[in-house]
Amino acid sequence: MADEMTEKNPHYRPSFVVAAVTVIALIVAGVVVVANMATRGADTAEPATTTTTSDRAAPTVNPSAGTDVAEDASVCGLDGEELEGTLTAAPDAEWHYQGTTAYPTSEEFGPADSAENGIRTCFQRSPSGALFMSANAITQGSDAATSMEWADYVLAEGKYRDQLTAEMGPAEGSEGRTKLVGFRVLKYDGDSARIDLAITTSSGGRAIFASGVYELVWQDGDWKLSTDVEEPLNVAQIPDMSGYVPWGE
C-alpha cells in the first residue's frame, strides 16, 4: 500500500483512493473530490493529488499581468491584505468540527462568510488566509453534505476547470479519524500560494502521515484551487513531520 501511495497512478480516481487502507488520511483531506484532478497522462510515477476541504476561491490572476487591488478586494470585505510574506509560526485559531475532523476559524483570517448550502468562504488575502483556506478544505471536500457545492465554488476559472468539474464525484466516508498536525508555506506572492499540510490518521494500530500540497490562486476576492494546472492538490505519504510547523487542535 505504501508503494501505491508513493507512486502516482496516472488514472487515479476517487474509487481507487477509497479502496486503499493506507490513504484514509487523503480521503479526509478531500481527495475524494479533487483526486480527480490527478494527472491522466503517461505512466509517470509521482504522488497522487488530494484536496482538502476549505472555503474561499477567486478568479485566476496572472502574476505577470500585475494585480489591481481594488478589483481583487475581498469578496466579503475582509481586510489585512498582504501581497508577500510567509509563516514560520502557527497562527492562533478557534477549532470546530465537521464530522470527526477539526477545522480552524479566525475573525482575522477567515472563513468570514458562509453560503446557504453550508460551505464556508472568504479568507484573508495573506499567507495566513491561504493556510486557513487549505485547512478548511480538509473537511469541506471530504463531507458528502458539502463536497460538490464546495468543489463548484473552490475550483477557479482556468484551463482545466471543465475537465476537473466533469470528473468530480461526491465525497465518500472513511474509517478512522484524520487530524491536521502541521504546515509549510512553500510559496506566496499575493496572487498565488502553495500550501503544504501535514495530516495524520491511524490504521492497523499505527500512525500514518501524509502531505497535501494545495495550489491556490486569488480569484473573485477569495482563495481558490488553481485549474491552470491539472493537479491543484498533490498528495504523498511522508515518514514524519520533519520540516513542518506544528499546528492543529
Tell me, what's the pLDDT at 242? 95
Whether pLDDT at 102 is above 80: yes
Q: Decide which of 209 and 28 is more confident.
A: 209
Tell me, what's the pLDDT at 130? 98
Whether pLDDT at 156 is above 60: yes
Instruction: Place 175 in a pLDDT band, splitting at 50, 70 and 90.
Output: low
Element (H, E) at 233: strand 233-238
| Cβ neighbourhood burial of 84 (10 Å; 0-12, 13-18, 19+) | exposed
Tell me, what's the pLDDT at 171? 56
With CA atoms as reference, report the closest residue to 30 among 134, 181, 166, 132: 134
Residue at 131: amino acid letter: L
Predicted model pTM: 0.74
Q: Which range (48-52, 132-136, 179-183, 230-234) has the least confidence? A: 48-52
- CA dist., res. 198 & res. 245, Å (int): 9
Which set of grid coordinates corresponds to residue 9?
Answer: 497512478
Number of domains in the chain: 1
Mean pLDDT along residues 10-19: 28
Whole domain around residue 18: which residue ranges? Answer: 2-246
Q: Which range (15-19, 85-89, 125-129, 216-220) has the least confidence? A: 15-19
- CA dist., res. 153 & res. 147, Å (int): 10
Tell me, what's the pLDDT at 172? 57
pLDDT tens, residue by residue, 196-211: 999 998 766 778 899 9
Decide if 228 contacts 158 (C-beta within 8 A).
Answer: yes
